[in-house]
Amino acid sequence: MLLDVRNVSRLFGTKAAVDEVSFSVARSGFVGVIGRSGAGKSTFLRMMNRLTDATSGEILFEGRDILALTGAEKRDWQSQCAMIFQQFNLVPRMDVVSNVLHGTLAHRSTLASMFGFWPDDDVLKALAILDRLGIAEQASKRAEALSGGQQQRVAIARALMQDPKVILADEPIASLDPMNAQVVMDTLRRIHDEDNRMVIANLHTLDTARRYCDRVIGMRDGRIVFDGTPDQLTTGVARDIYGADASFSESATSTSIDALPSRGDDAYAREMLA
Ligand SMILES: Nc1ncnc2c1ncn2[C@@H]1O[C@H](COP(=O)(O)OP(=O)(O)O)[C@@H](O)[C@H]1O
Ligand SMILES: [Mg+2]
């Protein structure tokens, strides 16, 4: 088992933001977590990369409980699971390459990075990653000069500098227009397919989850209320995840990425679930 989440909870006061969540993933996959605002999606991702402590439970990755790690082992885990945020979290006035190079900070001395001394190998690696993501020509521009979609690709490039095993993306396209949303999701999917890195993405829209994920987990009030393939994510199931009220409609939970047939890679999804 690659990832085994066992009865993980996180309380804030008496309220359980994440409530006895359990699921497992047999091998690297593209996992989407959906649910309305407040369902506990961000809290779960933040526990995975140890930005927030769990109140109870275990998260085994490759057999090791990452919730129990401390010190250097905890930092090592954090560099193995890179985080992508809705607001990109770049340094706006800094050039694109320097932003990407910050992905190596965990491995470098503070002094060298303070003065902007980046090893040549790291600079070349950063440029190669930018090239791979189709934004090499932006390398010397300030991050703030780029479009939202380009900025999110810079954030993905920064994540790749860490050579992570897992990419955790918290609503990566929530601030983007449909065209840029598609470019960013295509990029994440490609990184999964080509590098075999696991992606766990919090997504607030159904159509994106259906189109890009092998496996979808639906959360409501901190609990998992759905765990299955995109094909099993019917309108009835979605109504249950998002709350069954008369105003529910698919369009309210859509990013307007052109509806495509789901990836249909059902055998793959089933294998992952096994
Ligand atoms: N730092 C915090 N302090 C108190 N309550 C929090 C905190 N972070 C999240 N919560 C609460 O936990 C619940 C889940 O939040 P969150 O994980 O952000 O959900 P989502 O990402 O699905 O919108 C919400 O009710 C939210 O108000
Ligand atoms: Mg959130």
The total of other beta-carbon atoms located within 10 Å of residue 144's CB is 11
Query: 175: CA distance to ligand 1 center in Å?
Result: 19
The pLDDT tens digits along the chain (274 residues) read 999 999 999 999 999 999 999 999 999 999 999 999 999 999 999 999 999 999 999 999 999 999 999 999 999 999 999 999 999 999 999 999 999 998 776 555 566 666 667 888 899 999 999 999 999 999 999 999 999 999 999 999 999 999 999 999 999 999 999 999 999 999 999 999 999 999 999 998 889 999 999 999 999 999 999 999 999 999 899 999 988 654 455 555 666 555 444 444 444 444 444 4
Instruction: Work out whether the CA dihedral 56, 62, 63, 65 comes out positive or negative.
Output: negative
Nearest to 21 by CA among 230, 219, 228: 219
pLDDT at residue 255 in the model = 65
Does any ligand 1 atom lie closer than 6 A to the CB of residue 199? Answer: no
Measure the CA angle with vertex 110, ends 104 and 112; round to 5°. 80
pTM for the model: 0.89
- Cα separation, 209 vs 194, whole angstroms: 20
At residue 225, φ and ψ (nearest 5 deg) are -115, -5
Pairing of strands 81-85, 3-12: unpaired
Does any ligand 1 atom lie closer than 6 A to the CB of residue 37? Answer: yes
Give burial (CB, 10 Å; 0-12/13-18/19+) of 129: buried
pLDDT at residue 104 in the model = 76
User: Domains in the chain, start-ordered, CATH in brackets?
Assistant: 3-273 (3.40.50.300)
- Cα separation, 213 vs 224, whole angstroms: 17
Query: 178: CA distance to ligand 2 center in Å?
Result: 19
